[in-house]
Structure 1
Amino acid sequence: MSARNDARFGERVRRLLRHEGQWLASLVWWVARRRVGVPEGARALPYAGAQAAMSYGLAFVFVVETVGVSLLLQDHPELHAVALVGDIYTVLLVLGSQAAAVTRPHVLGAEDLLVRNGARMELRIPLASIASVRYDLRSRQDGHSGAGDGRQDAGRLELAIAGQTSVTVELTEPVVVVRLLGRRETVRTVRFHADDARGAVGAVRGAVEAVRAARSVAERGEPVTPG
């Protein structure tokens, strides 16, 4: 039992370190104006805009705090060094979270929809498994806000941004979501946010209809006409 617990602990540590590396790398991709995991021909569905003002506001507050603490501790170099490291890390963490959301948008491909929450979580949904998708603006009333924590309840996954979701996807069959620390759960309903939610809904519907049409043609054995 101890060996199993040690293995689980080790896996969680590796996942946390990988997450740490991903949001740090996102700062580089952000400066370079690059996006991660958006192949040619796929459509990016951004969602970071909803939390941008809050992220930049928090970063500004922490920068001001860093300056204030530095002035207060200027006669205590050891404490000043420790506080400075912690304050700089906090500023980078806030900016890294925003950078991860910007550089890792949702991605609509020809066969699946990749729903992401920055570097924290991602879920790949086969388009063939989507029963319906709709614009559905919801504000979370449970006291949680910010970038979202991937809360799941009774087969439902919510990836809230700034305390809200705006797109609801209902599935014909459950899909498995893997949380940040490795826990696996099955969901049938996925709620997420997109900056252009109505446009995202229209794009996903069109892609789902195209997949269904192609499958129908294949089942009838009809030749597929290019274009």
Structure 2
Amino acid sequence: MRTAVRRAACVLVRHELRLLASLALWAARRTHGADGGRAFGYARGQGAVMFGLAFVCCVETLTMSVLLRDHPTVHHVVFVLDVYTLVFVVGVHAAAVVRPHVLGPGVLRVRHAVHVDLRIPIDRIATVRRELRTTHERADGELDIPMGAQTTVTVELTHPLTHFTPLGRQRHVRVVRFHADAPAALVQALTQARTAPSPLPDRPAPA
């Protein structure tokens, strides 16, 4: 029991630190883990919702400040919680912006903010297609990573790939569905990467 609690606490701390790091990267207009690969964003699928939540948090903070002005202790506690909630909401969106999907040499890196970071070897991909889905039912061997309640790309694998949840639970998946802001471009780039000709073998230099 203690081990499980300690593990969950460590995961929570890492999660919060990554959100704060994402805010710093977002402010600096930098991305994480996209060096040497082609980045494909997915954050637009939730942008309006997250900024709406951030606005609601700001309104709530101002409202509670007025209502609790005669109770300073409670006001301070609620204010800290409201500010934390606002930072959390903005941090989640920032993490989605600075951690895009990345198509690199031999691998497709599918991500969802700081929650999912799945590396799919290109040679394990059986099919890839653009497919819009707005409803998802949990099924064995399938991993759905929706953004704004929808996925736009479906990848089927030749054999199962191991995926670990944030709490360390292991799953074996053969179908991965995720959202991309430009699904057609991602599918085209991935198709080209799968069908790219093999490099020519090295030949000895002429004497």
User: Are positions 1:164 and 2:150 aligned together?
Assistant: yes
**Distance in 2 of aligned mates of 1:141 and 1:125:** 21
Superposed displacement of residue 25, structure 1: 1.1
From 53, 78, 102, give the equivalent of 1:83. 78
User: Are positions 1:68 and 2:63 aligned together?
Assistant: yes
Q: Equivalences for 1:63-212 in 2 at 5 Å?
A: 63-140=58-135, 152-210=138-196
**Distance in 1 of aligned mates of 2:167 and 2:73:** 34
* Contact 1:43/1:107 (8 A) holds in 2: yes
Deviation readout 1:156-208 (Å, 9 max, x if unpaired): 00000000000000000111111011111110000000000111111111111
Identity %: 45
- 5+ residue gaps, structure 1: 143-151
1:51 to 1:126, Cα distance in 2 relative to 1, 3 A: same
From 185, 201, 206, give the equivalent of 1:223. 201
Secondary structure of the 2:13 match is helix
Superposed displacement of residue 224, structure 1: 6.2
TM-score between the two structures when normalised by the length of structure 2 = 0.94
**Distance in 2 of aligned mates of 1:209 and 1:94:** 40
**Distance in 2 of aligned mates of 1:6 and 1:86:** 27
* Contact 1:135/1:167 (8 A) holds in 2: yes
Partner of 1:37: 33
Partner of 1:148: none
Superposed displacement of residue 209, structure 1: 1.3
